[in-house]
Amino acid sequence: MSVPPGFFRGVWNVAMRNIIVWRHYAAPSALGNFGEPLLYLVALGFGLGSVVKSIDGMSYAEFLAPGLVVSTVMYTATFEGTFGSYTRLVTQGTFEAMLATPITVGELVAGEILWGGIKATFGAVAVLTIISLFGLVPSLWALGALPLAFLTGLLFTATAMCVTSVSKSYESFNYYFTLAIAPMFLFSGIFFPLDRAPGWAQHLAAVMPLTHVVYVSRALIRGTPSWAMLGHLAVVVGFLVAGSFACSALMRRRLRV
């Protein structure tokens, strides 16, 4: 399947439009990116960590930190792909206005996903900065967490936009956050080693994309990369491709074009 002429320019124009708007709200956005992970790190990493024995030779704060990086990415991308995209789709009518230009639905969807990946990467930079200041980044391999964050941001923006395309109101997002995002946050290996979890929890974790992202993030930030990362990355890419195609199809139906 060939790419239509001008596709990438259209995608970039959609993403750049969102970046320009976001610049006016960058300060409160940055506060959330820095503040919430910092609270988790202090309360759990150092607070709870004071009574938790080391995990695989790491302090609890060292174990927790890589997961906080990618959980921030997940939440940033998901909020943008749900509340942000729904606002542009329904409340503001931005999508309809863009489609009145030469922008196609495919370019619009891809541009929205690209913007979600970019914004989520900003969040990852913020959390990496925090954990670096606390001495929890022992290796330059941690820089690899940034392209991982971008890939993860694309994935969770695409899946979130699938939900947006079938939602009738903002309240509909409660189903997605409660039944999908919260379980991933809790059971993907961020807070405890999965090999010590009950069997049902391990099976649940295996089918969640964030589990595979957490594995790669921890390996990179701790400076212990392995070939096993490739298998986990393949799963993430598979989820991204499926989510992107599903998002495009569902959004076309929602926009009736």
pLDDT at 42: 85
Q: Single out the residue of 179, 180, 177, 207 nearest to residue 194, CA to CA.
A: 207
Residue with tokens 């610049």: 23
**Percent of residues, the chain, with pLDDT higher than 90:** 76
Checking if the pLDDT of 5 tops 80, the result is: no
CA distance 113 to 18: 11
Provide mean pLDDT across the span 42-60.
Answer: 83
Per-residue pLDDT of 89-129, as tens digits, reads 999 999 999 999 999 999 999 999 999 999 999 999 999 99
Per-residue pLDDT of 165-186, as tens digits, reads 999 999 999 999 999 999 999 9
pTM of the model: 0.93
Per-residue pLDDT of 73-85, as tens digits, reads 999 999 999 999 9
Provide mean pLDDT across the span 224-244.
Answer: 95
pLDDT at 111: 97
Average pLDDT over the chain reads 92
Tell me how far the alpha carbon of residue 102 is from its chain's centroid: 29
CA distance 60 to 253: 47
Checking if the pLDDT of 257 tops 60, the result is: no
Q: Are 142 and 220 in contact (CB under 8 A)?
A: yes
